[in-house]
Amino acid sequence: MKVSLEWIKEYVEVNLPLSALIDKLNMIGLMVEDWEERDGDVILDIETYANRPDTLGHLGIARELAVGLGLTLKERDWPLTTSPEKTSDLVDIKILDADLCSRYCGIIVRNIKVEPSPEWLRRKIDAMDINSVNNVVDVTNYVLLSTAHPIHAFDLAKIEGKRIVIRKAQKGETLRTLEGKDVPLSPGMLVIADKKRPVALAGIMGGEESAVSETTQDVFIESAWFNPVSVRKTCKETGIQTDASYRFEREADLAFPPRAALMAASLLTQLGGKATEGIIDVYPRPKKSIKIVLRHHRIVELLGMDIDENFVQVTLLNLGFNVDVQQSGTWQVSVPLFRVDVQREADLIEEAARFYGYDKVPSTIPPLSVPELSQDKKKERVNTVRQLLFHNGFDEVINFSFSDPDKETVFLSQQKEITIRNPVSMKASRLRTSLLGGLLENISWNKNRGAEGVHIFEIGNAYFWYDKNVHEELMLSLATTGLIGQLHWQEKSEEINFFHLKGACEFLMNFLKYRPFSFQEEDHDYFEKGYSLALIYKGEKVGYIGVIKDKILDVYSLDEVVCAAEISLAKLFSKQPQSFQYTQVTKFPSVSRDISILTDRSVLYQDIKNEIEGLSIPFLEKYELYDRFSGSTIPEDKVSLSFRFVFRHSQRTLLAKEVDVLQDKIIKKLKSSFNIQLRKRGEIDK
Amino acid sequence: MLDMKNFKARIEEYQRNFDSAFRKVKNGKSLQELRNTYLSRKRGYLTLLFKELKTLKHEEKPEAGMMINNLKIYIEEKLQSLEDKYRVAEKAVKKTDFTLPGIQRYWGAPHPLRLFQEEIENIFLSMGYSIEEGPEIETDYYNFEALNFPPHHPARDDWDTLYLTDDLLLRTHTSPVQIRIMEKRKPPIKIIIPGKVFRRETSDPTHLPMFYQVEGLVVDKGITFAHLKGTLEYFLKALFSEKIKIKFRPSFFPFTEPSAEVDIGCTVCEGKDKECRVCGGSGWKELLGAGMVDPQVFKNVNIDPEIYSGFAFGLGIERAAMFAYHINDMRFFYENDLRFIRQFVLK
């Protein structure tokens, strides 16, 4: 809200240096966001709050300032030059919906010459960056900016039947705006109508047909109270917002309409008009002010600081509250109707604190208490995942949760995506169903800026409809392309490949103790056919890993191979990891056996692994595939695999004979399941 | 059979021979040869001499042994005196250049927002808070109504909202999690809630349609505004610096009463630069919203405001990180340029 210091001074004698004034305003909660000196005046831009419509005018700001500085708020008189005609003889006002219009006041000013405003008025209107229109319109704006109460001036001659009816619009009615546009009105909207038709959208704007113009002689001044929700709904529906509606939808002062009408009439008579006798005031159900009991000890309990009883009382009185001492330390406070924000004791305590000064509140730390501890292990696990991935050379990224439907479609599998109703742009009009789109975007960004390798991950939610419910699923996505590490004189740098990524996933699963886990060949929408695996834990597919489809790479303008994985941490974390049990380190030595086999290329490693593990060989501590070989010494459809098996007994040294038996068992099983041949020193065993 | 006299003569002869050979040593190689001649563990003269000890009479052995030892020490000391001169100097000629770059394992970097979030979390964890989370897609009830935003109230305009349906929206703050926790837990409650929030905003250097917040909530008997002040002062000093200036001023949030805005003193210009890019010349930077939990919010979760009180606060992580590192464009956090991210590996 723009505030002119000169204007403020009409209400309160402020004589502070500007910086001290700004500090004071800030410390009582009126944040000065900006200010400028203009024509000997100072224009402040003050942040106002949605619950304080009373500060949307100079009077309200001045009232706060007066209390803050211990000064007196000056009241101005609004004398009228009246004609003997009675207002009520000239116009008839009827409220048909008292819920939506609780009060309606009117007065007429006759023989007005509509012309440019006098200098003093222009200056005020200009200071507020509002266009000066003519003396009548400027007066209505002056009243609004002074008091925060919006009023409206009609050309009396254009009000048919000299009747003002406040009613809901009827189907098919329209109102022509000042810009000449016909706004269709719907039956819920409150309008001001004359005998025949709506002449104004209540609390929002007047129509063109009844507007004050150069030919206007007599003006009907409306000063009313309209229901905030009704005004707001109509604004939303019509898309029209005005300075008046901004104030009405925050709730205007129900006590103020007669005074605003008087003020406008007084100003217009000063400009040469003559007011009619008496303000019509239709106020069917006068509202009583709220009464709140304020206990002094509650101030101490809530603020952790004592505020002198007298200070509390004086502050509230000066702010316009009525304060009755009920007994020592207890007041009954009546709230003026312009303070729509004050309804409870806590609201009054804030008033006391605000003017006493937040800076006077001491700083202490709450005493120790024993709150219930969170049982959620998710955060901890997510953190472990991150650390493991850093260790594997993956950088962390965070992308927006939005997605671009043009691009996201390549990631749509079975999920039903969630659309934002009122997106900022089409490119961010959906919620992502996969994190991979963002990662590919990041790869593209970094590649375009010279990165040779990009290895990144993101942990965050994917979103989709699940039945009729929205579903957020915590995902981990990884994507990797190009060189890993830096060039080094001793080590050669490596091109990332699928097995780096798979290794990172295996590393993760092992460290988090989600084992045994397995991979299974499975096609997936994100990946090239035949180049993807499903990650399986406890019988459920928890993720996919593979080589991103060329078609998808094209969408992100990428031309290098990108390997990627997406693992549902939500699914994984819902399952129990292997429980941890300490085992004593044994002092007995292990026995290693190397076995090289020749197998058909079509046999999958995962299947061999499953067979070996299915045997549950005793004392088998671990086994590793340490060589894989194909070439001229081996038939084309075959591949040589070399395993090292490590056996160990925890209580004694194993005998060679015992290990021979176990080794034979493995070989026998592999022979029967996969038709393998043994290789010894390059010789192929029959 | 060796007798003692004989033995002594041998020792003396060895010493003489060694002395003359020692004088002829010209380089590391001859030094090493001399060492081998006398001290080699297999065929060195002294080694052989030790082996001969057993042919002496029992009572002569200790004295003889001591003589060999003395000679050994004498020879070792002599040899050592030339060691530096020849051996080290010659070794240096063939030595690998140890100043060549070492092998650095490639280590991934955390996103700076996460790093900063962790810093914030650690401060509160050290004060006995626990960390809670909640859904990013919320209902109107949790995001607004339960937090004392009446339907159709203009206060909602300050939280520009992205809607999914009439009732579902992307949460505009982490505050709905306050409600969710208070619904299922009895005080004392002492939590922080980090998370993503969404606003209907176009990206620019100081606004984003999605950003991170950390919310705090403490509910117990006897919690006061002074506790809020003390807690936030401690937190901000721990996060930024002991010297940071902090100012509380009145503000408005529907879910707190009284409400406060917390400003911190600009560390870039200290209020001296009218054109300061960080504080805009005011010397202060608005950083947190805070206040005492509104009695209506307590009523909505069946906590009696006459018995319990509490405070809550909220902080934008990007804003705080920008302030801490003097980053002047919020969008940098979401470009995910690795040159930006990797700077923060080790701060």
pLDDT at residue B306, as a whole number: 96
CA separation for the pair B75, B45 (Å, rounded)? 11
- Residue A221's SS3 state is strand
Encode pLDDT of A336-372 as tens digits.
Answer: 999 999 999 999 999 999 999 999 999 999 988 877 7
Of B153, B227, B336, the CB nearest to A445: B336
CB-CB under 8 Å, B226 with A364: yes
CA–CA gap between residue A386 and residue B109 (Å, rounded): 10
pLDDT for the residue numbered B182 = 96
Model confidence band, residue A686 (pLDDT cutoffs 50, 70, 90):
low
Q: Which residues pair with A327 in a beta bridge?
A: A330
3-state secondary structure (DSSP) of residue A103:
strand
| Cβ pair B338:A485 closer than 8 A | no
Task: Quick: pLDDT tens for B302-318.
Answer: 999 999 999 999 999 99
Name every chain A residue with its beta carbon within 8 A of the beta carbon of B333.
398
Q: What pLDDT, on a 0 to 100 scale, did the predictor assign at position B227?
A: 97
d(CA A154, CA A192) in angstroms, rounded, equals: 11
Q: ipTM of the predicted structure? A: 0.90
User: What was the pLDDT predicted at A630?
Assistant: 86
How far is it, in rounded angstroms, from Cα A82 to Cα A266? Answer: 9
Nearest to A366 among B218, B333, B338 (CB): B218
In this prediction, residue B255 has a pLDDT band, given cuts at 50, 70 and 90, of: very high
pLDDT of residue A528: 93
3-state helix, strand, coil in chain B (%, to 5): 45, 20, 35
pLDDT at A669: 92
Of B247, B216, B242, the closest CA to residue B310 belongs to B216
Rounded Cα distance between B183 and B297, Å, is 11
Question: Are the C-beta atoms of residues A346 and B295 closer than 8 Å to each other?
Answer: yes
Which of A541, A560, A542 lies closest to A550 in space, CA to CA? A560
- Alpha helix locations (H) across A289-435? 296-303, 309-318, 345-356, 378-391, 405-408
Q: Does A235 reach chain B within 8 Å, measured CB to CB?
A: no
- Which residues of chain A make contact with B200, given a CB cutoff of 8 A? 422, 424
Query: In this predicted model, what pLDDT tens digit does every residue of A462-494 receive, in sequence order?
Result: 999 988 899 999 999 999 999 877 777 777 767
Q: At A196, is the pLDDT very low, low, confident or very high (cuts 50, 70, 90)?
A: very high
- Contacts A374 to B, Cβ<8 Å: 130-132, 191
**φ and ψ at A365, to 5 degrees?**
-105, 135
Distance from CA of B151 to the nearest CA of A (A): 8
Q: What is the pLDDT of residue A61?
A: 97
Identify the pLDDT of residue A371.
75
Of A44, A63, A66, A45, give the one whose Cα is nearest residue A55: A63
pLDDT, position B14: 87
Conformational region of residue A329, where left means phi above 0, alpha means psi within -120 to 50, and beta covers everything else? left
Residue-wise pLDDT tens digits, A144-156: 999 999 999 999 9
Residue ranges of the alpha helices (H) in A565-604? Answer: 569-573
Q: What is the pLDDT of residues A254-291, one digit of tens each?
A: 999 999 999 999 999 999 999 999 999 999 999 999 99
Alpha-carbon distance A472 to B133, whole Å? 13
Residues B331 and B317: their CA atoms lie apart, in Å, by: 13
Distance CA A596, CA A625 (A): 10
Distances (CA, A) of B103 to A513, B98, B113: 30, 12, 29
Please write the tens of the pLDDT for every residue from A16-54: 999 999 999 999 999 999 999 998 999 999 999 999 999
Cα–Cα distance for residue pair A645/A663, rounded to 1 Å: 8
pLDDT given for residue A684 in this prediction: 65
Could you tell me the pLDDT band of residue A330, with boundaries at 50, 70 and 90? very high
| Residue A255 token pair | 């006590």
- Residue in B closest to A357 by C-alpha: B249
- In the predicted structure, residue B1 carries a pLDDT above the cut 60: no
Cross-chain Cβ contact B257/A362 below 8 Å: no
Q: Report the alpha-carbon distance of residue A196 to residue A173 in Å, rounded.
A: 11
Chain A residues closer than 8 Å to B218 by CB: 366
Q: Are the beta carbons of A397 and B190 separated by less than 8 Å?
A: no
d(CA A354, CA A356): 6
Q: Answer whether residue A375 shows pLDDT above 90.
A: no
Size of interface A-B (CB pairs under 8 A): 244
Chain mean pLDDT for chain A: 93
Mean pLDDT for all residues in chain B: 90
Q: What are the chain A neighbours of B222 within 8 Å (beta carbons)?
A: 301, 367
Q: How far apart are CA A459 and CA A443, in angstroms?
A: 16
| Cβ contact B133–A367 (<8 Å) | no
Tell which phi-psi region holds residue A615, choosing left (phi > 0), alpha (psi between -120 and 50) or beta: alpha
DSSP character for A413?
Answer: S
Q: Which two tokens stand for residue A446?
A: 């970094």
Report the side by side order of strands in the sheet with A638-647. A620-629, A638-647, A591-600, A677-680, A683-684
Q: Identify the residue among B100, B116, B121, B162 best suited for mutation to test binding to A, counting A beta carbons within 10 A and taking the highest.
A: B162
- At A392, the amino acid letter reads N
Express each pLDDT in A543-560 by its tens digit. 999 999 999 999 999 999
Copy the structure tokens of residue B283: 């010397």
Please answer whether residues A678 and A667 qualify as being in contact, where contact means their C-beta atoms are separated by less than 8 angstroms.
yes
| Coil vs helix vs strand at B145 | helix
pLDDT, position A384: 94
**Is there a contact between A376 and B342 if contact means CB atoms under 8 Å apart?**
no
Say how many Å lie between the first and final Cα of chain B, rounded.
Answer: 77
Q: How far apart are the first and last CA of chain A?
A: 94
What's the token pair of residue A67?
A: 């209390």
CA distance linking residue A139 with residue A271, whole number of Å? 10
* Distance between CA atoms of residues A533 and A565, nearest Å: 9
| Count of Cβ atoms closer than 10 Å to residue B246 Cβ | 19
Centre a 10 Å sphere on the Cβ of residue A336 and count the other Cβ atoms it contains.
16
| Cβ atoms B143, B169 nearer than 8 A | yes
Which residue in A236, A165, A172, A229 sits closest to A200, CA to CA?
A: A165
A562, A588 in Cβ contact below 8 A? no
How far apart are the C-alpha atoms of A100 and A248, rounded to whole Å? 11
Burial letters A341-355, b for 16+ CB under 10 A, else e? bbebbbbbbbbbbbb
Angle formed at CA B93 by CA B89 and CA B95, multiple of 5 degrees: 105
| Contact check, Cβ <8 Å, A393/B107 | yes
Predicted local distance difference test score (pLDDT) of residue A652:
93
Least confident of A50-59, A60-69, A361-370, B255-264: A361-370
- Rounded Cα distance between A226 and B153, Å, is 14
Name the DSSP letter for residue A374. P
Cα–Cα distance for residue pair A642/A632, rounded to 1 Å? 17
For A175, the token pair is 């109102």
In whole angstroms, how far apart are CA A643 and each of A623, A633, B255?
Answer: 7, 19, 65
> What token pair was written down for A232?
């707001």
B199/B197 Cα distance (integer angstroms): 7
**Residues 6+ away with beta carbon under 8 Å from A507:** A388, A392
Q: Does A581 touch chain B (CB under 8 A)?
A: no
What is the mean pLDDT of the segment spanning B86-99? 73
Predicted confidence at residue B84, as pLDDT, reads 75
**CA quadruple A111, A115, A116, A118: dihedral sign:** negative
Of B150, B105, B52, whose CA–CA distance to A340 is shortest?
B150
- Residues with Cβ within 8 Å of residue B148, at least 6 apart in sequence: B254, B255, B294, B296, B297, B300
Which residues have C-beta within 8 Å of that of residue B311, sequence separation ≥ 6? B216, B217, B218, B223, B225, B227, B228, B231, B256, B290, B291, B292, B293
Of B137, B162, B294, the CB nearest to A422: B162
- Count of CB atoms within 10 A of residue B137's CB? 21
**What order do you get walking across the sheet with A163-168 strand by strand?**
A92-95, A163-168, A190-193, A198-201, A205-206
Query: Residues with Cβ < 8 Å from A355, sequence gap 6 or more?
Result: A28, A67, A68, A311, A315
Three-point CA angle A286, A287, A293, nearest 5°: 150
| Exposure on the CB side of residue B198, measured as CA atoms within 13 A | 25
